Structure 1
Amino acid sequence: MMGLAPIGDAAGLRVLEAQLRSADGLAVLRHGMNICGLLFLWQVFSLCCPSWLLGGWSIALVAISLAALLLDRQRRQGGAALLSAADLRRHAVGALLHGGVWAVCMALISHSGDTEQLVALWTLISCVMVCGAISYAALPLSAMAFLLPCIAGLFAMFHAGGELPLRALASSYALSLLGGCLIYAHTFGRQHSATAQLVEKTEVVSLLLREYEAGGSDWLWQTDAMRRLTGVSARLAEMLGRTPAQLEGASLVQLLAGSGWESGRFAAGLRDLSDHLKQRESFSNLALPVEVQGQWRWWELSASPRHDEQGVFQGFRGVGSDVTAQRESADKIAQLARFDPLTGLPNRSHLREALDNALNRALEAAHGRSPGCAYLMIDLDRFKAINDTLGHQTGDKLLSQVARRLLTVCTGDDFCGRIGGDEFAVVMPRIADAAAVPRLAAAIITALSAPYQVDQHMLHVGASVGSALSPADGREAEALIRSADLALYRAKGEGGGRHCAYEPQLHAQAEERRQLELALREALEKDQLHVLYQPVVDVAEERIVGFEALVRWTHPEMGPISPVRFIPVAEEARLIGPIGEWVLRTACQEAAGWPDDVRIAVNVSAEQLAHPSFVAAVVSALAQSGLDAHRLELEVTESVFMTDDAGALKVLDQLLALGIQLSLDDFGTGYSSLGYLSRTRFNTIKIDRSFVVGASRNTAESLAIIRAVVTLADSLGMVTTAEGVETQAELEMVRRLGCKKVQGYYFGRPMLGGDAVRLFPMPTQRAIG
């Protein structure tokens, strides 16, 4: 009502509209009184009051009145849909100006006349206050804004000491008007609020009645004491496909039983209905299948017994409705809740339910003394690559074929389902012998690893399986699932395409990985990481031309932790990005103090390349360190191209445009493709140590690979770096094969930045030389 809080419901908006409509209807009274008061003042005070004072006041009154008329007109043009509490506040501002201009009149003009003219002014002011109170009565905030300045003006008008009784009387009069306005506004609000709520409820009831009349989904029915239909409605006859005359006097139970009446095979709902009718008791929402013209429908019946005035039972009267659509929808929802919509296999929750049942039965049968059931988790190998290259539609079709193959393998009591993505699971409620689980796992891997024909594509994926037995690997479903998941993780870690059973040490290893991840998250914050630098040497001159930055971790309690342990954990925990950026900034800062012809090489992960801000992070590291871009060499492996070839190439092109050197690390050990070399201008190809060791032992394959890589690099204008050179013999061998640079323990182990700086002459020494 006051307009000091937002209006949040339809009823409040209706009251607001009624308030403003009432004020608009009485505005003519207020403006008419202003005109009369203006003329009255000129008539009475024109001789004793300065003309400029009356004129200025008159202009103010007219301006305020015109502004109020204009604002009210704009509000009405906006319509009721745009009304808000702010309109009440704006209206109150106009009322405040209205009351203020009359308060100014009382303060200034009352001093210009004698007692008779003061009485005339008081008479005018009382009329103005009455008219204003009436016109603002429905708006309490506006009423207060108008009358309070008037009360202040009364104090100024009756300022003489002998006029104190008049001041008290006038103030009491004005306060009485204000109190009356507030009482009226309260009553006004309650009445219109109740009216608005009644209108809203009436509209809802009307809407429900219209929907009922349009839908016609329910019908009335009644029986006599012998349970025969009487007074059959047209709607009931229509639902049964007969006329009311044909149904009159027919047995309700026999009619609903349909063809099952002769055989005596009744639905459970029909038996419940018959029992209620026999016991003459009320029932509600009783669902039962009904045969209507050869088709089965679902009806829902409610009824109460009827008695005459003497209490004699007359039969039943009730209402019925066809709920076939709702029943089918509920069945479909139940199907979706328990089965995977893509493959049709049981979903995660259904699998969990089957596992719980299997565990309970196994516990009851074996009393926990021997393995009673098993849980197998299955994960497809190389499925993500198919999704990324051929699209999700092809991936979905492949998953459907995987589900069909899994159903052919899992026979008997075995229960298979889809967990989600490319993960499936099998519940074995009974285990015949110790080889049953490995035998089923091998059959699953064999079946799922066979080629798939999807559209025009011949696809190859493998499968990895992890298994757990109850009660040895877990007595509860959660524990058994966790054990199978750990076994699957191990199978994937060993290269996939195999089955691993749960072993107790897997849990210890998982806990170790978890603790390692927690510690690694703190390593950056607590300055536990540091960077070592391994020299890269020019073969011809045996001169240091660069260093490779290698991150190391020393934990205060666990001591030095090998990168072989924490780098995979960092990649799984998505920590490799921030760690890699820290190494990049640290290495650039260190290299800025080296000679200008010495480069720094930093390894970059696939996750870093995929991050949208990676290029900006490289630019920032160069800018903060002051290192020239041509002195920075970023090393990537071929794995970065496996998920998003085009995206990785685009990022590498941006880095090349900055003048940064690129190096392809471990070429030949992974997913080698000459396409990467032809589409990206790598500056260096690094040959893995495994080939260097093989070549030093005169292994023909390793020698051939090194020669091929060197020839390829020379033809493309690239430089080759041999990794892991540890002896003079290995150095001579890679020099003879044509490698331009070497890296390994022969020239230096990874060292601290301070030790790396001491390998170079001091600036003054270099200047003298």
Structure 2
Amino acid sequence: MSRSGHPSLRELRADITEMYNGEGPEAARMRGAHLSSLIRLTPSLMTANFGSGVLTLWFFTPDVPFGLWVWMFALCTVCGLAMLNWVRRRGRPVLTASSRSVHRATVHALLLAAVWGVLPALWFEGSAVGLQLPLVALISGMLGAGSFVLSPLPYASVAWAATISLGSIWALLDVGSAAAVSVGLLMSLYAPIVVIGSLVNWYKSTALLRAQAQSARQEQMLSLLLQDFEQNAGDALWETDADGRLRHASQRLRELLCLPLEGQEAEPLLALLSRRGITGAGLLEQQLNTGRPFRDLSLSIQDERGTVHLLMNGKPLSDENGAFLGWRGVLSDVTEKVRHEETLRRLAHTDSLTGLANRFMLRDTLNRLIAQKRPLALLAIDLDRFKAVNDNHGHSAGDAVLQAVAERLRAHLPTEALLARLGGDEFAVVLSEPADLPKADTLAQRVVDALAQPVEIGSRSLRIGASVGLTTRHNEPVSLDGLLVQADMAMYAAKESGRGRWARYTPLLGEHSRRQLAIEQGLRNALERGELMLHWQAKLDLASARITGAEALMRWTHPTLGPISPGEFIPVAEQCGLIDAMGQWALREACRAGTQELAGLTVAVNVSPAQLLSGHFLDHLRETLAVSGLEPGRLELEITESLFMEDAEQALQLLRSIRQTGVHLALDDFGTGFSSLSYLRSFPFDTLKIDQSFVTELLSKDQSRAIVRMIAELAATLGMRTVTEGVETMEQMQAVRAAGCDEVQGYLISRPRPLAEFQRSFEAEAATKVAG
């Protein structure tokens, strides 16, 4: 066993080998327990496999290959054999199992895995793109679910994961596309993690089985000791007469009840127990008054060792005529057993890394408080920059940060508050004391302030920060899950408002969340339904008074919610992982239009930071340019300063690679960020887009005119062009021209229009605007 308490690879392999091939009774019982847990799931598992097979056939309808019918027959055969074996074993408990049984189960799992591994290897490459996604999802699900369910048999779980992942990876690599290769690489990374998780699950369940077996052996030992009390060194015999007085108090009984070594036999047993303050004496009196035998009556007493836990058994005594003579029984010291059970219970409800309560303890506590209709406050805490710690400093540093955060939270929260770690970098606090509830707002701010301070890990000082969501319950009915959802909503609202702050749940947040969910669900089908479209807004060159470029602006009309602003649906797409697909579509469509309807113009496309940092944006950009035939110099990518927030060095390296393709880069909303000049010093952009907030105040504030003039002069010095956004009047355009800007964009020149309308009207409209 390693110092961390986890088994080494050699120990794990030895334990698995012992379970599979061990000849002792313990190994047989262990095999029986693991095999029994798997057999119980056989009907569900085989039904799931059959159902997945039927879905696979449905994917290929109406043109189902003949080989796929053969594959389905093989799947049904393997599933049928498993069900036949289950029927034969049904009703018979599997207490022990032979080595041959678990090896046979492993071979069956391998056969079933081979059937699923053949599926992508034979039919993935030739299937349509629309079929490949459900196939990948199906195989990924079978990989994870099967490995988890088969964890009671480690060899079977490993064989399952290896067979399916190898077949899938081979199929993905054989396709050869960048997306397929990426998915194959991801599967090659996640398959070992699935195997490791399965082995860890087996190790934990095995440890639990061993602990249960040990506990059962201890109970059997206690039973034997009770039956053979004359030779018992740990338990004590007790016996009373018809008046309840002790007939004989052995030394062991006196030790257990903390009685003097001599005397007191004439005093009733109940009086002795009451005077000693033994908890449970009242229950004992009730049992004795019934006149019926009793077992496992719990008593506890305080002595120099702390709390001593006792179990008492007793039965009434009578003579041959049935006359009552008294009671006789056994008193057992079960302190160690109770402490062991409490330790196991505590471990089941405690986070092993931080020592805090875990998710199960939190839910139990909230359920109890809700059932008691007690007022409470719940704080959901999420660390803001924890992922960067793991990525840049390693998981050991991340664990140290979590432990430091736990200690800091303990120090700033009331002692009666329940502090729990939910997993990852998520924490929660439950306040239920009446004195603490009015301070919930103050405590939320205190948590934010405490976690805003640097965390010292070795020689490194790390800034983490946290966003906190607060919800309270008084008399209003709310379920446990509803309470957790409210706290999460408030926490995400705090993140959206800038992180490093707290927010309280309000009904308005609930409405906002439901709208966000409707938008997310709609976005998932928007591309397939053709609901997304690009509108185009012209850019006017002030020197030549000609339209020289157009910016692509994404528009979407929800089927039920109607037109939705990009400022609302783009953040949702970023959060739910859809922005990459939407951004790729916009880039392809813009490049296509640049070679056809907008030939001769420079086309500008906004790129989300999440899309840029996805890992394969550069490859997709090169592919799109090659397919469309658009000259790289006629494509301009517009980015915002938020790209640099997480990892500025990685962002700058990516921008340099994009520049090497010949594509131009524009820094959007320039002048609104706190570090715009530092980015210009690190990377020379081709274009600076002056934010429209300056144009709004251009005619009324000298300061805004000076800022616009300064940006134009700075850009000219650095060899960049300037585009001023939001120009809506001729006076604003004249002021922008006087400031030295190169291009303008806004409603004065052209409103965003669909492509066909833009193509027909932009030249005539621009000429009219300038002449006016």
Once residues 741 and 520 of structure 1 are traced to their aligned partners in structure 2, the CA distance between those partners, rounded to angstroms, is 34
SS of aligned partner of 1:416: strand
TM-superposed deviation, 1:533: 1.0
Distance 2:709 2:338 in 1: 73
**For the structure 1 residues 595 and 549, does the alpha-carbon distance in structure 2 shift closer, same or farther, using more than 3 Å as the test?**
closer
How far off its partner does 1:550 sit?
0.5
Give the secondary structure class of the aligned counterpart of 2:373: helix
1:610 Cα deviation (Å)? Answer: 2.3
- Per the alignment, residue 580 of structure 1 pairs with 583
Deviates more, 1:625-634 or 1:412-421: 412-421
1:469 to 467, 473, 490: 473
Deviation at 1:294, TM superposition (A): 7.8
Aligned mate of 1:666, from 661, 664, 669: 669
Distance 1:385 1:626 in 2: 38
- Relative distance call for 1:516 and 1:231 in structure 2 (3 A) is closer
CA contact (8 A) 1:351 1:417 kept: yes
Partner residue, 2:749: 747
- Which residue identity is paired with 1:554? T
Q: Are the aligned partners of 1:218 and 1:321 in contact in 2 as well (CA < 8 Å)?
A: no
User: Which position in structure 2 is the counterpart of 1:478?
Assistant: 481
8 Å Cα contact 2:547/2:763 also seen in 1: no
Provide the rounded CA distance (Å) in 1 between the counterparts of 2:670 and 2:259: 77
Counterparts of 2:714 and 2:260 in 1: how far apart (Å)?
84
- Check the 8 A contact 1:229/1:250 in 2, yes or no: no
Match of 1:253 in 2: 253
**Letter matched to residue 750 of structure 1:** P
- Deviations along 1:711-734, one digit per CA (max 9) or x if unpaired, are 443343322222222223322333
Tell me whether 1:336 sits opposite 2:340 in the alignment.
no
Residue equivalent to 1:552: 555
Cα distance change of structure 1 residues 293 and 349 upon mapping to structure 2, 3 Å threshold: closer
Match of 1:757 in 2: 759
Contact 2:724/2:745 (8 A) holds in 1: yes
| Segment drifting more, 543-552 vs 645-654 | 645-654
CA distance in 2: counterparts of 1:388 and 1:470, whole angstroms: 42
Aligned match of 1:592: 595
State the alpha-carbon separation in 1 of the partners of residues 306 and 532 from structure 2: 75
2: distance between equivalents of 1:391 and 1:475?
40
- What are the superposed Cα offsets for residues 287-320 of structure 1, whole Å, 9 maximum, x if unpaired? 9999999899999999999xxxxxxxxx9999x9
Please report how far the alpha carbon of residue 412 of structure 1 lies from its aligned counterpart in structure 2 after TM superposition.
6.2
Asked whether the equivalents of residues 483 and 507 of structure 1 are also in contact (C-alpha less than 8 Å), the reply is yes
Identity %: 36
2:359 equivalent in structure 1: 348
Match of 2:533 in 1: 530
Shift of 1:586: 1.1
1:549 deviates by: 0.5
Tell me how far apart the structure 1 counterparts of residues 225 and 405 of structure 2 sit (CA, whole Å). 56
For residue 728 of structure 1, what is the amino acid of its counterpart?
Answer: M
Residue 694 of structure 1 and its aligned partner are, at CA, apart by 3.5
Identify the residue that residue 722 of structure 2 maps to in structure 1: 720
Cα deviation 1:342-371 (Å, max 9, x = unaligned)? 4333222222222222223336xxxxxxxx
Closer, same or farther in 2 for the Cα pair 1:690/1:362, shift >3 Å?
A: same
Q: Are the aligned partners of 2:452 and 2:463 in contact in 1 as well (CA < 8 Å)?
A: no
1:755 and 1:526 map into 2 onto residues whose CA distance is 22
C-alpha distance in structure 2 between counterparts of 1:518 and 1:760, whole Å? 35
What residue in structure 2 maps to residue 200 of structure 1?
none
State the AA in 1 paired with 2:644: F
Contact 1:576/1:607 (CA < 8 Å) preserved in 2?
yes
Q: Is the 8 A contact 1:431 1:437 kept in 2?
A: no
Aligned counterparts of 1:501 and 1:630: Cα–Cα separation in 2: 49
Task: Report the Cα distance in structure 2 between the residues aligned to 1:329 and 1:223, rounded to whole angstroms.
Answer: 21
1:221/1:317 contact within 8 Å kept: no
TM-score by length of 1: 0.57
Q: 1:445: how far off? A: 4.1
User: Residue 542 of structure 2 corresponds to which residue in structure 1?
Assistant: 539
What does 1:235-384 correspond to in 2, within 5 Å?
Answer: 251-254=251-254, 264=276, 330-362=341-373, 372-381=375-384
1:634 is displaced (CA, Å) by 1.4
CA RMSD of aligned residues (A): 5.3
User: CA separation in 1, counterparts of 2:478 and 2:549?
Assistant: 58
Pick from 600, 606, 628: which aligns with 1:625?
A: 628
Where 1:343 maps in the other structure, the secondary structure is: coil
Q: Secondary structure in 2 aligned to 1:535? A: strand
Letter in 2 for 1:490: A
C-alpha distance in 2 between matches for 1:437 and 1:570: 33
Q: Which amino acid letter does the alignment assign opposite residue 469 of structure 2?
A: V
Counterparts in 2 of 1:258 and 1:548: CA distance versus 1, 3 Å? same
Q: State the match for 1:457 in structure 2.
A: 461
Letter in 2 for 1:682: F
Structure 1 residue 548: Cα displacement: 0.8
* SS of alignment partner, residue 612 of structure 1: coil
SS of the residue 2:354 aligns to = coil
- Equivalent-residue separation in structure 1 for 2:369 and 2:304 (angstroms): 43
- Where in structure 2 are the equivalents of 1:186-201 lying within 5 Å? none
Question: For residue 102 of structure 1, what is the aligned residue in structure 2?
Answer: none
How many aligned residue pairs are there? Answer: 534
The structure 1 residue matched to 2:506, chosen from 503, 506, 509, is 503
Describe the SS at the equivalent of 1:537.
strand
> Which residue of structure 1 lines up, in the alignment, with residue 658 of structure 2?
655
Paired residues for 1:352-431 under 5 Å: 352-362=363-373, 372-381=375-384, 393-411=396-414, 413-431=416-434
Letter paired with 1:586: E
Q: Distance in 2 between matches of 1:292 and 1:491?
A: 52
TM norm structure 2 = 0.56
Larger deviation, residues 669-678 vs 333-342 = 669-678
Distance 1:383 1:295, change over 3 A: closer
Question: Per-residue displacement from partner, 1:3-50 (whole Å, max 9, x unpaired)?
Answer: xxxxxx999xxxxxxxxxxxxxxxxxxxxxxxxxxxxxxxxxxxxxxx
Contact preservation (8 Å) 2:377, 2:470: no
Confirm or deny: 8 A CA contact 1:639 1:671 kept in the other structure: no
User: Residues 123-162 of structure 1: matches in 2 within 5 Å?
Assistant: none
Conservation of the 8 A alpha-carbon contact between 2:750 and 2:762: no
| Selected match of 1:643 from 627, 642, 646 | 646
Preserved CA contact (<8 Å) 2:280 2:300: no
SS of equivalent residue, structure 1 residue 411: coil
Distance 1:527 1:354, change over 3 A: same
Q: CA deviation at 1:542?
A: 2.2
The Cα of 1:403 is off from its aligned counterpart by: 3.4
Residue matched to 1:736? 738
Distance 1:301 1:658 in 2: 84
**AA matched with 2:368:** N
Q: Is the 8 A contact 1:399 1:422 kept in 2?
A: yes
Partner amino acid for 2:421? Answer: R
Q: State the AA in 1 paired with 2:373.
A: A
CA contact (8 A) 1:222 1:316 kept: no
CA displacement 1:571-625 (0-9 Å, x = unmatched): 2222211111111111111111256642111111122122233223223322332
**Shift in Å at residue 252 of structure 1?**
4.5
Higher mean Cα deviation, 642-651 or 686-695? 642-651
- CA–CA separation in structure 2 for the residues paired with 1:673 and 1:604: 18
User: Aligned partners of 2:601 and 2:391: how far apart in 1?
Assistant: 40
Distance 1:322 1:511, change over 3 A: closer
Larger Rg, first or second structure (1 or 2): 1
Paired with 1:340 and 1:511, the residues of 2 have a C-alpha distance of: 32
Query: What CA distance in whole angstroms lies between the structure 2 residues aligned with 1:719 and 1:260?
Result: 98
Q: In 2, Cα distance between the equivalents of 1:592 and 1:554?
A: 27
Change (3 A) 1:609 1:657: same
Counterpart-to-counterpart distance in 2, 1:501 and 1:608? 31
The one-letter amino acid of 1:492's match is K
Question: Distance in 2 between the 1:479 and 1:728 partners?
Answer: 54
1:62-89 Cα offsets, whole Å, 9 max, x none, are xxxxxxxxxxxxxxxxxx9xx99xxxxx
Residues 230, 413 of structure 1: alpha-carbon distance in 2 compared, 3 angstrom cutoff? closer
Contact 2:540 2:548 in 1 (8 A): yes
C-alpha distance in 2 between matches for 1:293 and 1:466: 44
Change (3 A) 1:253 1:567: same
